[in-house]
Chains A and B, each alone.
Chain A
Amino acid sequence: QLIESGGGLVQPGGSLRLSCEVSGFAFSRFWMSWVRQAPGKGLEWVARIKSAGSEKDYVDSVKGRFVISRDNAKNILYLQMNSVRVDDTAVYYCVRHLDTPPGGYFDYWGRGTLVTVSS
């Protein structure tokens, strides 16, 4: 089970931290990712993090603004969103990422948390 939280309304240029509490599998053994979906739009992979947290990758549009991290002792995945823009508005899904790198796929998805960036 993956349960996201932390979404809400934030002004452009502001910050927000998303959390994802994981249960039901050995969290510390798996890569994890965030995938987002803008309203009425398709899916977009945002960031991934290795099981031990030593490797992280980002889509170009969030590089330098977002930081993915994890606490394996608490089974929690995070996404720190800084300098947010209107086009960051989306539902953010926490996902388990298998067969990566490279590529890979997502077998477990949370229900998502909505982030709205607006003044």
Chain B
Amino acid sequence: SYEVTQPPSVSVSPGQTATITCSGDALQRQYAYWYQQRPGQAPVLVILQDRVRPSGIPERFSGSNSGTTATLTISAVQADDEADYYCQAADRTTTFVVFGGGTKLTVL
């Protein structure tokens, strides 16, 4: 089981907005982080500390955290955004890193 839960899949048409959620008690008073993993590649950090974009990540990527639900929003989705997206937080008991199960974003 996962400390944080994501939907297995999300589908969106090009140009539309994709919303991927991440829920769990681990997000209470903890930052959420998001990674993009394209097929056959290593993950890439796209959002840190709930809403901060690392250098080089397009402004189309944004994040938020309401306390028990973190959200990754991708605006004006492109075919190149098709990938698996993982949220990450910290276990409230051990303080170790925990990942969600991942969400496969399909661009129709």
Q: Chain A residues with Cβ under 8 A from B100's Cβ?
A: 42
Q: Chain B residues with Cβ under 8 A from A109's Cβ?
A: 42-44
- Kindly provide the distance from the CB of B100 to the nearest chain A CB, expressed in whole angstroms: 7
User: Chain B interface: which size bin?
Assistant: 20 to 34
Chain B positions 93 through 107: 1 when the CB is less than 8 Å from some CB of chain A, otherwise 0 = 001111111100000
Q: Quick one: given A45-B99, A112-B42, are A103 and B90 in contact (CB under 8 Å)?
A: yes
Which of B37, B44, B48 interacts with A105 by CB under 8 Å? B48
Say whether A111 contacts B90, CB under 8 Å. Answer: no
Q: Chain A residues with Cβ under 8 A from B54's Cβ?
A: 107
- Interface SS of chain B: strand
Q: In this assembly, does B71 line the interface, its C-beta being within 8 Å of a C-beta of chain A?
A: no
Which of B37, B88, B96 counts the most A-chain CB atoms under 10 A from its CB? Answer: B96
Say whether B98 contacts A102, CB under 8 Å. Answer: no
Complex: A44 Cα to B54 Cα, angstroms = 22
CB closest chain-B residue, reference A60: B94
Chain B positions 60 through 89: 1 when the CB is less than 8 Å from some CB of chain A, otherwise 0 = 000000000000000000000000001011
Q: In this assembly, does A86 line the interface, its C-beta being within 8 Å of a C-beta of chain B?
A: no
CB closest chain-B residue, reference A59: B96
- Kindly provide the distance from the CB of B8 to the nearest chain A CB, expressed in whole angstroms: 10
Q: In this assembly, does B19 line the interface, its C-beta being within 8 Å of a C-beta of chain A?
A: no
Q: Chain A residues with Cβ under 8 A from B95's Cβ?
A: 101-103
Say whether A57 contacts B99, CB under 8 Å. Answer: no
Complex: A109 Cα to B97 Cα, angstroms = 15
Say whether A104 contacts B97, CB under 8 Å. Answer: yes
Q: Chain B residues with Cβ under 8 A from A104's Cβ?
A: 90, 97
Q: Quick one: given A103-B31, A107-B54, are A45 and B96 in contact (CB under 8 Å)?
A: yes
Contact residues of A with B, CB < 8 Å?
A: 33, 42-45, 48, 57, 59, 93, 100-107, 109-112
Q: Known A-B contacts: A59-B96, A111-B42. Give 13 more (CB < 8 A).
A: A33-B97, A42-B2, A43-B86, A57-B96, A100-B97, A102-B95, A103-B95, A103-B96, A104-B97, A105-B45, A105-B97, A107-B48, A110-B42
